[in-house]
Amino acid sequence: MIYNETSYLRVVYNEMLRSVEMHWKTFTLADELKTGLNTGIKLAAEMNLSNWIADVCKLGVIGEEEQKWSNEDWFPRAIQSGVKRMAVIVSDDIFNQMSVDEIMQKAPQINFVSQYFNSLEEARAWIANQN
């Protein structure tokens, strides 16, 4: 079920997997990235979801300030809302890969696990096996 959709992001509630799915459609500005990620936290909290799938293939490079915000502000709130697992679908773009990897390496690892995938199907299968 589509929870929220903008020109740059589709946020989906996957009822069967009890997960948030973030499907980034294009490069985003800092405010759009933050708004999108906060929308995902809102969904996770409302529905008590512990799984998160992030399709970042089209997201583009994430700036240093946004990386810092993700690690210092967003991740602690996401984990506090109940998110425990994150499947990340990686891009072919090396610069996107580097910025996403930079964030994920610094993400809190207490009560949280993440894994990279090449497709949505692989990500969903991993989430399904974690439940």
Does 108 have pLDDT greater than 70?
no
To the question of domain 2-121 being in CATH 3.30.1490, the answer is no
Domain ranges of the chain: 2-121
Give the span between the Cα atoms of 23 and 56, in whole angstroms: 7
| pLDDT at position 62 | 82
Does 91 have pLDDT greater than 90?
no
Higher-confidence residue of 55 and 101: namely 55
Higher-confidence residue of 18 and 98: namely 18
| pLDDT at position 109 | 62
What is the pTM for the complete model shown?
Answer: 0.88
Pinpoint the alpha helices (H) of the chain.
Answer: 30-47, 64-69, 75-80, 94-106, 120-130
Does 115 have pLDDT greater than 70?
yes
Give the span between the Cα atoms of 58 and 81, in whole angstroms: 26
